[in-house]
Structure 1
Amino acid sequence: MYDPKRGYPVVVPCVLYDDLVSAAEWLTTVLEMRQVVRAELPGGWVGHIELERAGSIILLGRRGGESAGANSVTQVFVDDVATACGRAAGAGGTVLEAPADRPWGVRQALVTDLEGQRWVLCEHLRDTDPADWYGTVFGPVPG
Structure 2
Amino acid sequence: MYDPERGYPAVVPCVLYDDLTAVSGWLTEVLGFREVVRAALPDGWVGHIEVERDGFIILLGRRGGPLGDTSSLTQVYVDDVAAACERATSAGGSILDEPAGRPWGVLQAVVADPQGQRWVLTRHVRDTDPADWYGRTLGPVPG
TM class, shorter-length = over 0.9
1:9 lines up with 2:9 in the alignment: yes
Deviations 1:8-33 (A, max 9, x none): 00000000000000010000111100
1:116 is aligned to 116
Distance 2:141 2:127 in 1: 13
SS of the residue corresponding to residue 39 of structure 2 reads: strand
> Runs of 5+ in structure 2 lacking a partner?
none
| One-letter identity of the residue aligned with 1:132 | D
Distance 2:83 2:70 in 1: 25
Over 3 Å off, 4+ runs: none
Alignment correspondent of 1:19:
19
Distance in structure 1 (CA, Å) of the matches to 2:36 and 2:122: 19
Q: Distance in 1 between matches of 2:140 and 2:26?
A: 21
CA distance in 2, matches of 1:80, 1:128: 20
Equivalent residue number for residue 58 of structure 1: 58
Residue correspondence of structure 1 range 71-82 to structure 2 within 5 A: 71-82=71-82
Q: What amino acid is the match of 1:91?
A: A
Shift of the alpha carbon at 1:66?
A: 2.8
Which of 100-109 and 67-76 deviates more?
A: 67-76
Distance (whole Å) between structure 2 residues aligned to residue 63 and residue 81 of structure 1 = 24
Quote the Cα distance in structure 1 between the aligned partners of 2:92 and 2:65. 22
Residue 128 of structure 2 aligns to which amino acid in structure 1? T
Q: What TM-score do you get using the length of structure 2 for normalisation?
A: 0.98
Query: Is contact 1:67–1:118 with CA below 8 Å preserved after alignment?
Result: no
Q: Distance in 2 between matches of 1:54 and 1:112?
A: 29
Query: How many residue pairs were aligned?
Result: 143
Instruction: Tell me, in whole angstroms, the C-alpha distance in 2 between the residues paired with 1:78 and 1:8.
Output: 13
Equivalent AA in structure 2 for residue 15 of structure 1: V
- Amino acid aligned to 2:18: D
1:57 CA drift (Å)? 0.1
TM-score, structure 1 normalization: 0.98
Task: List runs of 5+ in structure 1 lacking aligned partners.
Answer: none
